[in-house]
Structure 1
């Protein structure tokens, strides 16, 4: 089973080796999609948890008991085609090539099945045409 979650933890929990504990204590693999973590600051991870559903649920409960917020990451990237100017800047930061320029029409194509919702494209868009549905 796979489950994508956003983990937000207070600065007091930054020192906890979360991904290590998930693997060692719960046999849950954590594929880090996006991370914003710094010493003595609030941290945020977007991860895809993989393992037995009961173990994933136990791991989530373990994090919540340590004041670590865990939210289901069901957001999707949305592109406002009316605002998009097909500049292609977003294609340069997309790690999965979900955003590509058509070589014939030079129009932006969004391949939703490739998107991991890392949100790197959002701040890159100069016209604000890219957002999430949340």
Structure 2
């Protein structure tokens, strides 16, 4: 099973080896989608966690017990096809290749099953055709 989560942690927890502990103690794989970790500030990680359901739940409970904020991702990326100009800028920042240009038509294709909702494409779109379904 996979879950997308956003972790928020205080400056005192920045040095904690979170992904190592997830793998070693819970047998949960953590794919880092986006990270903003700056010394002496709050850190944010967007992760895709993979593992057995019980182990995932145990890992999430452990993180919360360590005062790590855990938010489960429920949003989906939406593309306004009427606004999109198929420029392809979003394809360059998509870490999972969920956004690709069709080589035959040069039109943007969105492969939703690959999307991990990291939201890196949203600020990249020059015409603001990409958003989440908040």
The TM-score bracket by the shorter chain reads 0.7 to 0.9
TM-superposed CA distance for 1:59, in Å, is: 1.5
The 10-residue stretch of structure 1 (47-56 or 58-67) with the greater mean CA deviation from structure 2: 47-56
TM-superposed CA distance for 1:101, in Å, is: 2.2
Unaligned runs of 5+ in 1: none
Give 3-state SS (helix, strand or coil) of 2:71's partner.
strand
Match of 1:70 in 2: 70
Tell me the distance in 2 between the aligned counterparts of 1:30 and 1:106: 34
Match of 2:132 in 1: 132
**Aligned pair in 2 of structure 1 residues 96, 30: CA closer, same or farther (>3 Å)?**
closer
Match of 2:51 in 1: 51
Tell me the distance in 2 between the aligned counterparts of 1:16 and 1:79: 37
Taking only aligned residues, the RMSD between alpha carbons, in angstroms, comes to 1.7
User: Any conservation in 1 of the 2:78–2:130 contact (CA below 8 Å)?
Assistant: yes
**Aligned pair in 2 of structure 1 residues 130, 6: CA closer, same or farther (>3 Å)?**
same
| Residue-by-residue CA offset, 1:37-96 (whole Å, 9 max, x unaligned) | 121121111112222322221221111122211111122111112221222111222233
Tell me the distance in 2 between the aligned counterparts of 1:51 and 1:96: 19
Match of 1:99 in 2: 99
Number of aligned residue pairs: give it.
134
Q: What is the TM-score when the length of structure 2 is the normalising length? A: 0.88
Q: What is the TM-score when the length of structure 1 is the normalising length? A: 0.88
1:87 maps to 2:87: yes
Tell me the distance in 1 between the aligned counterparts of 2:38 and 2:131: 25
TM-superposed CA distance for 1:17, in Å, is: 1.0
Query: Post-superposition, which runs of at least 4 consecutive aligned residues in structure 1 deviate over 6 A?
Result: none
Unaligned runs of 5+ in 2: none
User: Any conservation in 1 of the 2:48–2:116 contact (CA below 8 Å)?
Assistant: no
